[in-house]
Amino acid sequence: MRIGFFFKALAMTLALAGSVAMASRAMADRIILKDGTVLEGKITREGERFYFITVKIGGIEQNKFVNRDDVKSIERDSAPAPDPAAAVKAPDAAPEAAAKEGEHHSGATRLALLHFGPPNSWHGTVENMVGRDIGVRAFREVVPLLEKDKVDIVVIAVNSGGGMSLEMPKFQDLFEKVYKPKFRTVAWIESAISAAAMAPWPIEEYYFTPSGNMGACTEFNMSNLVATKGAPLEEILFRMEKVSGWGKKDPAIMRAMQIMSPLSVDIDSNGEVHWRADEDGQVVLNHKDKIFTITASDAVKYKFARGIAATQEELVKAMGLQEAEWVAQDATDFVDKSLRDNDAAFKAFNKLFEEYEFHIGLAQQLPDKQQRSIELARAKKLLAELKSKLSLNAVFPLFVGATPEWFKEQEDLIKKLAELP
Amino acid sequence: MKVPMNWRRAMGAAAMALSVLGGGAVLGLAGPAMAQTGATKDAPDYSKMQKRDLIVFTSGNQVEGVVLSETDTQVHFLLMIGGIRSETTYDKSTILEIKRNEFKPKETKDGDKSEVKDESAPVMSSSSGNSYDHPVDDKGKPIPAGATKVYIMNLTGEFGHDVSNTPMKEAMDDVVKAQPDVLIVRFNNDFSLNGEETADYGIDLYQYDVLEKARELDTLLMDRINLGGEFKKKPHVVAWINKALGGAAFLPFTIPDIYFTSEGRLGSLGVMETLFAGMGDEVVRQKQRSLRVGRAKGLCAKGGHDERLMNAMSWGAYVLSYRIVGGKVEFYEGMPPGPDWFLLKDDGFVNEAHRDTLQDRVRLKGNDFLTLDAPTAFNIGFSKGTADTVDDLLAKMGITRNYALMKTKSPEIWKDWSRNIDKAEADVTRLIREFRAVEVKPPAQYEQRTEARGRRIRLLEQIKSIVKVYREAINPRKVGSPDGLIDQLDITIDRIKTEQTLDRRP
């Protein structure tokens, strides 16, 4: 967790002065949100369009980002948090701490960019399947790098046509329980289709590129284009209702993306947008026989997203940051590398699978035992190799139909063929 | 009868190509077709490289390592952090400075400075002797300083085949070198897909398959201009539409300023209601349609055009009307609600009562599908004007004098690509024929069988090398799906090698 340098330095000074009273009062600011939520803690930073407040939840301190647009009122029990840029220049307050902190923090807001899917500038050289090419592990492992570089804002740049449902809740939990408490977490949408829309759904702050699009979240079986039905469907609908709560979004939006469900909006006299799960609102965004995908212009018009940005510079402006620097390049590189590595690993896995199919097929056709045994030895080796690769990514086998049952069948087949005269 | 998706076409074609190769028995097509990177085979040993170069980013960040290669827009870099080495690519727009040879090589035990093999040197040096330092016009005369430099990029042939990533990248490299003031992208494409032409009044239900290609081309064209940072002054880009039907209609949407020729037509994207028809569940079909239209509308929004036009070009049941109020266009999603409204497109595709007559369709007067002609495009504000000559076009743009049409490499680049891709397809077809002709009639000897297998492998390797280069645009109807084909070629080669291993001298 990062607290503004000035506050840390100031707190240290006061602590040295023995001001116990200040310490006891430090957690007493209240931010009352428009939806009735009350955040009680210490406002540590604030800008033109945001606050950071440190709150204690279950004994654990969390640094929460709050958009000024969402705030109804503020009750302060401490002096307003200083402007972070000014804070760096603040003199004399704990100079040692200032020097140490200053090594890493210029006062500008520090942003890191993580690619959730290969950006368009890679020109399709890497695939973009969630769970296969885009793995949660890299996003988890990169957190210490982000912390080390004292990142304030993590931008998750989404560009993916979807993927495996299996990976989706892992991403959701990671963003909700790890990223959001530590960083102001922002989604920047180029194309977020299906699982790629659902995975970052807990993120509250969205920006789109000019051509951005997000939706089409129907879960289905790729082999026969049949949708998930019955209890599994209810489970995933329920899951997304819950995650909509995390992301502070009306659940009707995601529902219309998942199943054929109507969606419309009313805009009241204050300009507030009210979502409706019917076609009776002022503007119908999705008819009852369609699946919803939202585009950048509608996302902003109906306050689903806060802005449109084509470049990182425009994104900084859209976020209302006066001064910003992009940092944690090693974290960006780490996630990029994972995309490339996963892509290459799957392609290699797929090739291995095809080679296995070839050799086992040949073994089945060979009448001569000696010749067959050569093929079986190759097939056995390839099968073992395939098995050893399962730990790389548990979803790889699903793409080629290599389930645990399939492995068992193949082992039995090899054994049976070896026993033939 | 057509199958309803490109991938189905491609897979079917791949299977066809494989059966031609004679390897059908055990060559499963169950797995998704995957491209091979083929990048690591000849890669240098990075573990032996020493830190040499320093990149300073505009953000102030720095990274250390070795510049492996670079283009005008990107730097391929071997990143070194402690003992970790990792390949990565940076956009030059994010780079402030590359400090080459910043780090001296370490001395070895015997005192010699270890040398990093020059395989890490840039493969493409930064441009020198730019032929546009002294630009000439299309007649070869020097363009005087201060004249508006106009670059024309003519896109012809089949979109996705003749108009593809590699020539677009090369053409844009040329545009960057030329640094024009105006870039005119002229669309005059065949209304065809995988070599099959459709009449202008017809509708090819599968043209939406080209959407992803258009999205890729957009990044090479408009993103490079708007986001790349390679232009001293960004050129004013205009799309000039003569014929952009089917997949070719997507790309102009990303360009804000559009002009038509008087015969110009743009549209005929297909009918979403037919996509995946008869396959799977309705909700899944709707999902597939929704994401495609969503992405197409994204292109539309990128160029600042009204997304309802993309709805009208995509959905058969969608109805759109318009009127002009105070010089501004208003759209209405439905039949004209009053006498001052004009119908742009009705629901004739699903509503018999509104269906176009054959006479109207052939005369390009139908409205069951939205295909914009020059007057309509202008009326609804999609087109800024109609011009049949470059002079007219420039005049409409407000450029009436002191301009010059640049002599560029663009015509050559596009022509070469079209010729090469056609040749590649013909070569692959010929090589497959030659492969099939390699026969060893019994009772052949071991040496003859060995020689025949060697020849077959060589032919397959030749096919593979061609497909690898032209995979982005190769017509799957002619030679099979390129990605699937490469995998299957590898397996077939493997099978022949296995046969050879199992063969025995008598």
User: Which residue from A161, A259, A295 is facing B298, i.e. has the nearest CB?
Assistant: A295
Specify which residues B89 forms β-bridges with: B76
Give, rounded to a whole angstrom, the gap between the first and last alpha carbons of chain A. Answer: 68
Contact assignment for B490 to A260 by CB distance below 8 Å: no
pLDDT for residue B206: 80
Contact B39/B46 with Cβ under 8 angstroms? no
* Interface contact A350, partner B, CB < 8 A: yes
Q: Residue A235 in 3-state DSSP? A: helix
Q: Residue A402 in 3-state DSSP? A: coil
- What is the DSSP pairing of strand B148-158 with strand B182-190? parallel
pLDDT for residue A398: 80
Q: Which residues contact B268 (CB under 8 A, 6 or more apart)?
A: B191, B198, B200, B202, B203, B204, B207, B245, B246, B249, B313, B369, B371
Task: Quote the minimal CA–CA distance from B480 to chain A in Å.
Answer: 18
Contact B485/B497 with Cβ under 8 angstroms? no
CA distance B500 to B450: 7
CA distances from B16 to A318, B394, B492 (A): 52, 49, 14
- Counting one residue from A and one from B, how many pairs have CB atoms under 8 Å apart? 177
Contact A152/A112 with Cβ under 8 angstroms? no
Q: Which residues contact A173 (CB under 8 A, 6 or more apart)?
A: none
CA distance B191 to B249: 10
Q: Quote the tokens at residue B135.
A: 């630009």
Q: Residue B357 in 3-state DSSP? A: coil
Task: Quote the minimal CA–CA distance from A245 to chain B in Å.
Answer: 24
Closest CA to B480 of B2, B19, B164: B19
User: Which residue from A295, A327, A336 is facing B297, i.e. has the nearest CB?
Assistant: A295
* Interface contact A357, partner B, CB < 8 A: yes
Report the chain A residue with the minimal C-alpha distance to residue B76: A122
Task: Quote the minimal CA–CA distance from B457 to chain A in Å.
Answer: 17
Interface of A with B in 98-127 (CB under 8 A): 120-124, 127
Residue B443 Cα to chain centre, angstroms: 51
Contact assignment for B286 to A217 by CB distance below 8 Å: no
Positions of chain B with pLDDT under 50 = 1-43, 108-128
pLDDT for residue B25: 22
In terms of phi and psi (left: phi > 0; alpha: psi -120 to 50; beta: otherwise), the region of B268 is left
CA distance A117 to A128: 5
In chain A, residues with a C-beta closer than 8 Å to the C-beta of B215 are: 120
Closest CA to B265 of B320, B322, B353, B200: B200
In chain A, residues with a C-beta closer than 8 Å to the C-beta of B216 are: 120, 123-124
Q: Which residue has the tokens 């989706």?
A: A168
Cα-only R_g, chain A: 26
Report the chain B residue with the minimal C-alpha distance to residue A347: B34
User: Which residue from A293, A296, A355 is facing B491, i.e. has the nearest CB?
Assistant: A355
In terms of phi and psi (left: phi > 0; alpha: psi -120 to 50; beta: otherwise), the region of A272 is beta
Task: Quote the minimal CA–CA distance from B469 to chain A in Å.
Answer: 14
Q: Which residues contact A302 (CB under 8 A, 6 or more apart)?
A: A265, A267, A273, A275, A283, A285
Q: Quote the tokens at residue A285.
A: 């965004």
Q: Which residues contact B288 (CB under 8 A, 6 or more apart)?
A: A216, A225, B275, B276
* φ, ψ dihedrals at B169, nearest 5°: -65, -45
Q: Where are the beta strands (DSSP E) in A172-237?
A: 184-193, 205-215, 220-221, 226-227
- DSSP states of A78-100: SPPPPPHHHHHH--SSSHHHHHH
In chain B, residues with a C-beta closer than 8 Å to the C-beta of A122 are: 89
In chain B, residues with a C-beta closer than 8 Å to the C-beta of A211 are: 218, 254, 295, 298-299, 301-302
Positions of chain A with pLDDT under 50 = 1-27, 82-104
Residue B126 carries which DSSP code? Answer: P
In chain B, residues with a C-beta closer than 8 Å to the C-beta of A340 are: 87
Contact assignment for A227 to B59 by CB distance below 8 Å: no
Report the chain A residue with the minimal C-alpha distance to residue B78: A333
Contact assignment for A347 to B502 by CB distance below 8 Å: no
Contact A420/A370 with Cβ under 8 angstroms? no
CA distance B334 to B182: 39
Residue A69 carries which DSSP code? Answer: G
CA distance A43 to A30: 8
What is the amino acid identity at position A256? A
pLDDT for residue B117: 38
- DSSP states of B383-406: -SEE-SSHHHHHHHTT--SSEEEB
* Interface contact A323, partner B, CB < 8 A: no
CA distances from A110 to A206, A324, B407 (A): 18, 6, 46
* Interface contact A373, partner B, CB < 8 A: no
* Interface contact A157, partner B, CB < 8 A: no
- What is the DSSP pairing of strand B95-99 with strand B84-91? unpaired
Contact assignment for B32 to A291 by CB distance below 8 Å: no
Contact assignment for A327 to B59 by CB distance below 8 Å: yes
Task: Quote the minimal CA–CA distance from B34 to chain A in Å.
Answer: 6
Would you state the torsion angle of the CA atoms of residues B220, B222, B224, B226, taken in this order, to the nearest 10 degrees? -170
Task: Quote the minimal CA–CA distance from A298 to chain B in Å.
Answer: 10
Q: Residue A253 in 3-state DSSP? A: helix
Report the chain B residue with the minimal C-alpha distance to residue A125: B37
The long-range contacts involving B65-70, CB below 8 angstroms and separated by at least 24 positions, are B66/B116, B66/B120, B67/B98, B67/B100, B67/B120, B67/B122, B68/B120, B68/B122, B69/B122, B69/B123, B69/B124, B70/B122, B70/B123, B70/B124, B70/B126
Q: Which residues contact B306 (CB under 8 A, 6 or more apart)?
A: B300, B331, B382
In chain B, residues with a C-beta closer than 8 Å to the C-beta of A259 are: 283
Q: Quote the tokens at residue A56.
A: 């204690």
Q: Residue B423 in 3-state DSSP? A: helix
Q: Quote the tokens at residue B506.
A: 């008598």
C-alpha neighbours within 13 Å on the C-beta side of residue A319: 31
In chain B, residues with a C-beta closer than 8 Å to the C-beta of A336 are: 88
Omega before B443 cis (within 30°)? yes
CA distance B485 to B33: 9
Contact assignment for A344 to B37 by CB distance below 8 Å: yes
Contact B257/B193 with Cβ under 8 angstroms? no
What is the amino acid identity at position B37? T
CA distances from B437 to A109, B315, B459, B497, B505 (A): 68, 49, 11, 18, 24
Contact B306/B331 with Cβ under 8 angstroms? yes
